[in-house]
Amino acid sequence: MSQEAHPARRNRRNGPPKGPYFVKAGAGLADKSRSMKRPQRQLVLNKGAEKYIFRYEPGREDELLDALIDQAKDRRTDFDWFDAAVISYKLTQSLIGSAEQLLREDRDVRTIP
């Protein structure tokens, strides 16, 4: 696969990535120093022998969805619309879990005398 097909590699040469990006596992594109600077979340899709890792910052989920659309449209990758739907579903479940946790914490704070 050409370098142009890897947004993470392109961003690495031109500075830190703007918005979400994906790293194809085993491609040697992960930059650990970047993840230490900013809190990040990730969603992983295992597709046969391939593994797609989407990393994004909290609060920038809309940009992750845009990146999923871009990847599904890109014919140079095997990532398709079904894959985008799976990651989108995982994102939704993650957001629901975060919201439920915030509601539990809020209830706990209110019950302290």
pLDDT of residue 38: 72
Predicted pLDDT at 10: 38
44/46 Cα distance (integer angstroms): 7
Structure confidence by residue, pLDDT tens digits, 48-89: 899 999 999 999 999 999 999 999 999 998 999 999 999 999
What is the structure's pLDDT at 35? 45
Domain boundaries, the chain: 3-111
What are the pLDDT digits (tens) for 18-59? Answer: 556 555 555 444 444 454 567 799 999 999 899 999 999 999
Please report, for residues 39, 60, 109, the alpha-carbon distance to residue 57 in angstroms, rounded to integers and kept in the order given: 6, 6, 26
